[in-house]
Amino acid sequence: MIVFPPEASDFLQNLSPVQAVPMDFDIKTEDTKTTVIDTEVSIAARSNEASSTIYIDPQKEAAARRKFDKYLVPVSLIFIILSALDRNNIGNAVIFGFEQDLGLVGNQFNNIQTLSSFCSFAGELPWTLVVRRFGARKALGTAFLLWSICTLGTAFIHTYGQAIAVRMILCACEGGLSPGFAFVYSTIYPKEQAGKRIMTTNLAQCIAGAFGGLFAYGIQTMGTRRGLAAWRWLFIVEFCFTIFIGGIGWIFIPDSAETAWYLNEEEKETMRLKRERDYVLRGEAKFDWKWARESLKDPFVYFLGIAFFTSSVAINGFGVFLPSIINGLGYTSLQANYMTIPVYVLGAISLLTQVYFSDKLKRRSLFIIGCCVPVAVGYLICVGTSSSGAGYAGMFILVLGLYPISTLAVTWATNTFAPDSKRAISMPMVYTMADISSMVSSQLYPSTQKPRYIQGNAVSAGLTCVAGLLYTACWYLLRRRNMKKKKLLAEGATSNGLEGDRSLDSMYML
């Protein structure tokens, strides 16, 4: 039985008979099958019970989503590009004087990255809860202002301690950006459409990587100006871009899907009704701490988080150290900056293609597991040969799978956890476990292991293989849960004693 909140019950009592006609939403007639299994009919009936009671014109709902595609999705892409530039271009700065000017020795640069990474993943859960409690506009706007100031501050540091402090604060402020936007998307789009929007996180990483290399190359060629080294100008100019472009974009981030200023009144009402229709999966508007306990007890959170951790070592190391890896293959520092560009372009093409088909086929695990193969192969090529050409080719191979893995893992988490209160806890928990990997990857490429960085590339390859096995375990766990639910429904059960995504009212996307 579906229990609606008081405001939803009042609304339902006032529905006219025409409004209350049972309907499905976003179901294409060509997808209808003439023969179905009884259990599947039962599952669909239970999961769509709320949606069949509240009628929303599919065209009006699609029109509201198009507004978010027009305003919110590009802004999230811009925000993450800016944050990735501000965070990762320290890797470009290293190859033209950052370490020498600050007097860094040994593993001190790696230590800066490790401590910064700690702040990044430590901030993910708190920031996501702030988004859930106060709204995306207030939460992400505050984070944007703080990390912009830290970007500017990086240009004026002179000591190891100052570098640690400013980068830790910057990463703490950026930590909630990706999970925050992913959470907002989960309140707007259905499961089969979420991947293409969440993809903006890693698409932004590709764009930032390509543009960052080109941008750093341009700054490097201008040399010292007004007594400031080129790497300092890198962060000054980035700050100007961030504060201007991000400031405009911030206006378009809504506090909630129902209050976006660019929706007209009819579209706002449509999104409000959508929340009531999706009550089973969304839950109460007010945060309920019981879902924190449910998140901590759900083994899938840990399976997916650990799998995401092992695959993210390769991603995090790649993002920061790619210029150094290419430089270590025998190319000059100038070449290393612009040679990253085609690698990132190919990564973006692969990301777009695989996420599109993942959404279309409604499959997550198949694509994630498959993407682990080129990542491992690419790193192993770098380990197995000293040829600069072969090593550079390995970068193109591994990037085919690198970014789709993390995008689809995040989408899988977003699609799986319900209601909103559980999602606001479980999703950043998965993010946090994944981002602990940045503390590992930051130590994998010490300057003492130039030029080939065999240790870093070998560990990245090995952990990617482990990730493939763990993602397979995640698929098996959710498949067993789905099979148990189907069996209970086939036997006529109305409840399994569980709530949210664990209940009989929802099935997992595999």
Same domain, 480 and 492: yes
Same domain, 68 and 136: yes
Supply the pLDDT for residue 54.
72
Same domain, 278 and 352: no
Supply the pLDDT for residue 329.
65
* In a domain? residue 320: yes
Same domain, 234 and 345: no
Same domain, 140 and 233: yes
Same domain, 289 and 278: no
Give yes or no for a contact between 333 and 95, defined as CB atoms under 8 angstroms apart. yes
* Calpha distance 500→39 (Å, rounded): 19
- Per-residue confidence in pLDDT tens, the chain, 510 aa: 334 344 444 433 443 333 333 333 343 334 433 333 344 444 444 444 444 467 778 888 888 889 999 999 999 988 888 888 888 778 778 877 888 888 888 888 888 888 887 888 778 888 888 888 888 899 998 998 998 999 999 999 999 999 999 999 998 888 888 888 888 888 888 777 777 787 777 788 778 777 776 777 777 777 778 878 888 998 898 899 889 988 898 999 998 888 889 999 988 888 888 877 765 555 555 667 788 888 888 999 999 999 999 998 887 667 656 766 676 666 666 666 677 778 888 988 998 899 889 988 888 999 999 999 999 999 898 888 877 778 788 889 988 998 889 888 888 888 888 877 888 888 888 878 887 877 777 677 776 776 677 888 888 899 999 999 999 999 999 999 999 999 999 988 888 888 888 888 888 888
* In a domain? residue 118: yes
Instruction: Supply the pTM of this predicted model.
Output: 0.67
* In a domain? residue 423: yes
* In a domain? residue 17: no
Question: Domain tally for the chain?
Answer: 2
Same domain, 275 and 353: no
Supply the pLDDT for residue 134.
87
Supply the pLDDT for residue 25.
34
Same domain, 149 and 262: yes
SS3 per-residue string spanning 156-173: CCCCHHHHHHHHHHHHHH
Give the DSSP letter of residue 32. -
Residue 302 CB partners (closer than 8 Å, separation 6+)? 433
* In a domain? residue 30: no
The residue among 283, 314, 337 that closes a domain is: 283
* In a domain? residue 41: no
- Residue 487, φ and ψ in degrees, nearest 5: -65, -45
Same domain, 153 and 228: yes
* In a domain? residue 16: no
Q: If DSSP codes are grouped into helix, strand and coil, which group holds residue 424?
A: helix
Gap between the terminal Cα atoms of the chain: 26
161, with CB counted inside 10 A (0-12, 13-18, 19+), is: exposed
* Positive or negative torsion for Cα 91, 235, 200, 306: positive
Q: If DSSP codes are grouped into helix, strand and coil, which group holds residue 258?
A: coil
Q: In angstroms, what CA-CA distances link 81 with 75, 204, 276, 403?
A: 10, 5, 34, 14
Q: 406 is in which domain, residue-wise?
A: 285-509
* Calpha distance 407→199 (Å, rounded): 5
Same domain, 208 and 319: no
* Calpha distance 101→439 (Å, rounded): 24
CATH of the domain at 64: 1.20.1250.20
Give yes or no for a contact between 508 and 481, defined as CB atoms under 8 angstroms apart. yes
